[in-house]
Amino acid sequence: MKRILIFLFLLIIVNFVARAQQDPQFSQNMFNHLTINPGFAGKSDAINASLLNRFQWVGFPGAPVTTVFNADATVGLIGQEDGIGFSVMNDEIGYEKNISVSLIYAWRTDVGNGKLGTGISIGLMNKNLKPGWSSDAGANLIDQGDPLIPQSEVNALVPDIGFGLFYEHKDYYLGLSVKHLNQAVYSYEESGKYSLVRNYYFSGGYNIRLSDPLFEVQPSLLFKTDAASYQVDVDVNVRYNKRVWGGLGYRLNDAVIVLLGTEFRNGIKVGYSYDLTISPLARYSSGSHEFFIAYSFNLNRRREQKYKSVRFL
């Protein structure tokens, strides 16, 4: 009976995620703009690369696991500070595995006292379904009599387009974007069709300088919706000496989030977040973990360092 109840609960959650959250969720959104907004590409005069790994609802059978690699740089194709980018994402949940690859271009221009990036992403998404997926207990969680579930492993590949605006001022940023703009349709011979719906994102953040110049408070907001449901993330980070940060976040009706990170002098940045689940899923999960590592190589800065010993390079 316990297995049956867990299975039914999983079906409800997977159905909710499939309908209301086609895109994976993240907690360190302030360091993951390129994943949702192509207008972010080329924001800094640097070559940037990042790798993020998220383990959601740890302990829950078939829980989502997401890996994202992003890279972007400033180039001079149309304007002097245009941006290009590249994004690869692997997202697994239950018997479903999604892989997406996108090329990104952003045209950047001065607007007021800041810069506006207008970006577009063009790529491919592959959806793989494995009907033989089973729980850790070994029980098959697929009803072979369901005509909507394929009887063998299937794949479908579709084009995917996104669009975004990202405005950056020295004290704040604003972002507005849409993913799956073309609303591509996956078609499976055995189980019919599956449509991607547009996901809309609004992001914003502010940098508050305190009387002590070593400390900054950085609140941020992410609102996303598919026009049928929505999700809101609110975070506040305190940054020390521009290199160490920590903070708290709240995802509406879902989790309280702890954020930690640091940036080393060689340009490497690492971060970690833990989601303390406050929804009914807390009975089945120990929370969610998210890790990221990033590197930025400044194209213009000349690093002049002196060392007392060649052993410390």
More confident residue, 277 or 300: 277
Residue 308 lies in a domain: no
Query: pLDDT per residue over 163-176, tens digit each?
Result: 999 999 999 999 99
Kindly tell me if the per-residue pLDDT of 72 is higher than 60: yes
Residue 123 lies in a domain: yes
Residue 304 lies in a domain: no
CA distance 258 to 102: 30
Kindly tell me if the per-residue pLDDT of 8 is higher than 60: no
Q: Identify the domain containing residue 13 by its residue range.
A: 2-298
Residue 306 lies in a domain: no
Residue 192 lies in a domain: yes
Average pLDDT, the chain: 84
% of residues, the chain, pLDDT over 90: 62
Least confident of 64-78, 188-202, 273-287: 188-202
The pLDDT, as a whole number, for residue 285 is: 87
CATH label of the domain that carries residue 185: 2.40.160.40
Residue 179 lies in a domain: yes
Residue 310 lies in a domain: no
Write the CA distances from 219 to 41, 106, 235, 237, 275, integer angstroms. Answer: 22, 25, 6, 6, 18
Looking at this protein, which amino acid is placed at residue 196? L
- In this prediction, residue 154 has a pLDDT band, given cuts at 50, 70 and 90, of confident
Kindly tell me if the per-residue pLDDT of 10 is higher than 80: no
The pLDDT, as a whole number, for residue 300 is: 60
Query: pLDDT per residue over 243-298, tens digit each?
Result: 999 999 999 999 999 999 999 988 899 999 999 999 988 888 899 999 999 998 87
% of residues, the chain, pLDDT over 70: 79
The pLDDT, as a whole number, for residue 311 is: 34
CA distance 140 to 138: 6
The pLDDT, as a whole number, for residue 144 is: 54
- Report the DSSP beta bridge partners of residue 277: 255
The pLDDT, as a whole number, for residue 304 is: 40
Residue 43 lies in a domain: yes
**Which residues, other chains included, contact 136 with Cβ-Cβ below 8 Å and sequence gap of 6+?**
61
Number of domains in the chain: 1
Kindly tell me if the per-residue pLDDT of 206 is higher than 60: yes
The pLDDT, as a whole number, for residue 225 is: 95
